Structure 1
């Protein structure tokens, strides 16, 4: 695994614009040496006051991952205009990049 992947992942996350979402896999593809699981791990290991838009990261099926912050994630996305459909999927036009 390439050293520095974590910093690359955090840099990509910081760049996700408001009102847009991306997947763990897309972030991993932009960070050399990262995988979707490593992206999730990097998020889990962040301090609570990190300030990164973690809530803009969803699964490849455009759904929220099953985690304790999912309700808060749904609320934050809705506040930015990202409304999930009846199947719990984010609109394809909201995907970034």
Structure 2
């Protein structure tokens, strides 16, 4: 991944406000040449100890992606006031931007 694209992704990630979520695709659309898969890769490659809100990024279906950190992600989102419906989706009003 080009460093400029990675920087765009991480800058957008840092802007997601507490209590809100966005999707891999929405972040990709805000970049120059990004794709949802590249956004996921950038998040997967974050260094240990970072303070970026990776947990505020969800799938286009407004669900958590199936990954090893999904339980922690859900806990962090709930702590910020994000709710999930009976199907595990985040209501659209929590989407940013």
- Aligned partner of 1:51 in structure 2 is 51
* Cα distance per residue 1:42-67 (max 9 Å; x no partner): 01111111110000000000000000
Query: After TM superposition, which residue ranges in structure 1, 4 or more long, deviate above 6 angstroms?
Result: none
Over the residues paired in the alignment, what is the CA RMSD in angstroms? 1.2
Shift of 1:83: 1.2
Aligned length: 97
Distance 1:44 1:91 in 2: 25
- Aligned partner of 1:66 in structure 2 is 66
Distance 1:74 1:84 in 2: 9
Matches within 5 A, 1:73-92: 73-92=73-92
Structure 2, unmatched stretches of 5+, are: none
Shift of 1:22: 0.2
Shift of 1:3: 5.7
Shift of 1:2: 6.5
Matched, 1:5 2:5: yes
Normalised to the residue count of structure 2, the TM-score between the two structures is 0.96
Structure 1, unmatched stretches of 5+, are: none
- Aligned partner of 1:94 in structure 2 is 94
- Aligned partner of 1:21 in structure 2 is 21
Distance 1:83 1:19 in 2: 9
Normalised to the residue count of structure 1, the TM-score between the two structures is 0.96
